[in-house]
Amino acid sequence: MRVLYRLYYKSNQAGCIMKKRILLTFVSLLAGAGLCFSACSGYDGGYGGRGEIFYPSADGNANGGNYQYGDIIEQDFCNVSESPSSYFSLDRNTASYSLVRSQIENGLTIAPDSVRIEELINYFDYSFGGPADEAVSVGGYLSACPWNEENSLMLAGVKTKDFDLSQTNGNYVFLIDVSGSMSGDARLELAKKGLYMLLDNLTDNDVVSIVTYASGVETVADGGECTQSGKEQLKSKIAKLSAHGATSGGDGLERAYNIAQKHFITGGNNRVIIISDGDFNVGISDLDELKEFIQIKADGGVFLSAIGVGLGNMRDDLMETLARNGNGNYAYLDSEYEAKKVFVDELNGTLKTVAKDAKASVTFTENVEKYRLIGYDTKLISADDFQNEDTDAGEIGSGLCVTALYEIKLKEGAGKIADIEVRYKDADAEEKQQSKKVEVTASTPSCEDLSFISCVAEFGLVLRKSKYRGEADLENVLERLESMDAYLSDDEYKTQFCELVKKAIATGFYG
């Protein structure tokens, strides 16, 4: 099978479409016969058979683990005559993309509820125009819909201002899960490597505390300075951590917030960074209780970054809940490659929030027959929530892009299509809601970013086996990506996405 993969990639590099399709078919046939290709996928056999869907069973377990996703109910098309407006909370979580990547790399069939399409799209950076003096800019784009020729795609693109972390003092608490479930290179050891990267990018202006939790809670460092010698001491403490015991996550969160409050810097950047597989089994573990607890703590001005690790015992639902209700963001580390993205390449976006309580409204005109928001299924809000300045919505970090994609059906001779409005509070200004608006018309142009985004959205529709996938097909996605060589070559993460699509095709699971 490894030979077949080599032939497939060589045929792809040579641009031989016929050879590629024959080999893909052959690989798919072998896959259907139940043959294993773990040497190609990196799958080590630890999660069940190749091609198994990694999904919780009725008793909450997944292949002996405790892997749980939140429920996703895809939104149907809405008739503009009945409901012209759409409202949702904005954030820039990216965990779903690396969760999907990890499943593909490990030879597993994608669990549909692990695919949050907005997080796949928002994983990447785009060339949306940034704001001049405000925290947020908004733009609109329009194109044909690749998987449904009768419809169009409309994109709302948000870009936040860049913020230099070195210009402010930071107070960070690393909350590290060291319970028994965190044992292994893909969990605690990967978390350590990520934290080393993070420490290397902090400055003398910052202080770091370290709290660990397992059967109990321990304060490993309390307000350590981030001088060169201070960083070495912090790294030494992290290096000594080992996994053991149960998971007293709720108590760990409480200790972390208390220490963050102890070192609170007025006008500074105060944040708890939790790294865990999310398997809280001692203390508060109910999602509703955690939601209430984390919301109360977030009101104190300390934001949260939730970093998930591990495949086999990772509570994706819990980690996503922490981020959504803790004024924070959620990323998932499946490799050192991803740790570099989160803690080096996008450090400012990970650690610095610039737009609080961000939410969007899109109101379509009578020139649109119907529309469907792709993704954001767990982040919908009401019209009242959008109007209410006190609504707790999403947070967006510095220098990041956030994208909302709609599939729409236009009427003949359409003129104005929609008004897009984003409301938010500037994290560095007064607690006053601000607004940015843009109008989209039938003459609004497309862009290369939208062409790529349509590929990511189609990829997500196929993987989650969406009933709205229409003619969506991974080979069509790959064909479009291969026509965008110049665009992809400027971004290693977009290039890697192209390779991921090839791997998904080669499994034969998504025909």
Task: Spell 250-277 as b/e; 16+ CB within 10 A means b.
Answer: bbbbbbbbebbeebebeebbbbbbbbbb
For 187-238, how does the pLDDT look when each residue is reduced to its tens digit (9 = 90+)?
Answer: 999 999 999 999 999 999 999 999 999 888 999 999 999 999 999 999 999 9
Range 442-466 average pLDDT: 95
The strand pairing partners of 154, in sequence order, are 142, 406
List, in order, residues 6 or more apart from 233 with CB less than 8 Å away: 221, 224
For the chain, which domains are there? 172-340 (3.40.50.410)
Q: Strand pairing of 170-177 and 269-276? A: parallel
Among 315-329, 362-376, 390-404, the range with the most confident prediction by mean pLDDT is 362-376
Report pLDDT for 55: 46
Q: Who has greater pLDDT, 307 or 289?
A: 307
What letter does residue 149 receive in the DSSP assignment? T
Kindly calculate the radius of gyration of the chain based on its CA atoms and give it in whole angstroms: 23
The DSSP symbol for 394 reads E
Burial class (CB in 10 A: 0-12, 13-18, 19+), 148: middle
Q: What would the mean pLDDT of 86-97 be, rounded to a whole number?
A: 95
CA distance 269 to 27: 51
Contacts with 33 (C-beta within 8 Å, 6 or more apart), sequence order: none
pLDDT for residue 293 is more than 60 = yes
Average pLDDT over the chain reads 84
Tell whether the model's pLDDT for residue 112 goes beyond 50.
yes
Name the band, by pLDDT with cuts 50, 70 and 90, for residue 345: very high
Share of the chain above pLDDT 70, in %: 84
CB 272 within 8 A of CB 252: no
Q: How many CA atoms lie within 13 A of 208 on its CB side?
A: 28
What is the identity of the amino acid at 136? V
Considering only 13-27, 374-388, 430-444, which range has the smallest mean pLDDT? Answer: 13-27
**Does the pLDDT value for residue 23 go beyond 50?**
no
Going by pLDDT thresholds of 50, 70 and 90, the confidence category of residue 412 is: confident
